[in-house]
Structure 1
């Protein structure tokens, strides 16, 4: 009798446990803890190299050019490849990730444009690149906001991103 009861009850327990599964939550956890780890490292390396030679840290065109060609652009190119290879299961997260890819593509084009501006000594290209960087920042802010909202909706706590 016990065996028969167990054979009847076990499938219901397994069925009910499946009802509590949240595929978006699982996808988010995989995304932030595994899929985006390498991408985050590559982005940090590229952005850090750029910040080290721009703004208040700017010293001269050659230093910036060298950083762009040797560190920023190669690392950012690898970062974009990594973003493109991220495995995402749910539509909600895919839509948000696409915002990140768009922002990264714009930022990459901005870095290329800065390199071109330095080669051609063209201030108009510098302004164009700065506009692209501003647009990329908007995309990244939108991505972060939507990712945080999705995480809250699915009880996932994110470290500050």
Structure 2
């Protein structure tokens, strides 16, 4: 059961990572002479933000994998230390960047808000995991999996809507 939980959490982490490293999010957008220049410029700036955030995300994903390996090997004390001293602090840096980034256009603000919400849910998941280890309570782990499932759905929604926005403003 623990193995399945870890795999589900890892899959969700990878999906979130995918939203920061898709080739579509790095697309170069042609800037025509029109009022849509503001949206295009905002997308280009947002792409730069995503690329700068990617190394931070990779760092916490690496730590999360380390946590999962320790947890699967039933070394809960070491797993707890990794969650508390590595995963949560590293994700704290990432989520701080995500929350503090404010797009200029309403189109991108709406889509970024989905990403912020998903990030908060994922962050809460880590605290539920921490609590489940501290209290040796499997219900908290189950709750973390449910919350992570919600976050994963929102990440997929964010990714789809962001890619649609890029396509809408990209030169065809």
| Superposition TM-score, scaled by structure 1 size | 0.78
Once the 2 structures are TM-superposed, how far is the Cα of residue 20 of structure 1 from its aligned partner?
Answer: 6.7
Aligned pairs, how many? 140
Q: Which residue of 2 aligns with 1:105?
A: 120
The structure with the larger Rg is: 1
1:52 and 1:102 map into 2 onto residues whose CA distance is 25
1:56-93: CA deviation from partner (whole Å, max 9, x where unpaired): 97322122211111111001111111012214111100
Name the residue aligned to 1:52: 66
Q: Which of 108, 117, 130 is the equivalent residue of 2:145?
A: 130
CA contact 1:65–1:115 (8 Å) conserved in 2:
yes
TM-score, length of structure 2 as denominator length = 0.73
Match of 2:77 among 62, 66, 75: 62
The residue correspondences of 1:66-81 to structure 2 (distance < 5 A) are 66-81=81-96
The separation in 1 between residues aligned to 2:151 and 2:35, in whole angstroms, is 38
Q: Using CA pairs below 8 Å that are at least 6 residues apart, which structure has the higher relative contact order?
A: 2
- Are 1:154 and 2:169 counterparts? yes
1:36 partner SS = helix
Residue 27 and residue 57 in structure 1: after superposition, are their counterparts in 2 closer, same or farther (change >3 A)? same
Q: How does 1:31-42 map to 2 (within 5 A)?
A: 31-33=46-48, 35-42=49-56
Deviation at 1:18, TM superposition (A): 4.7
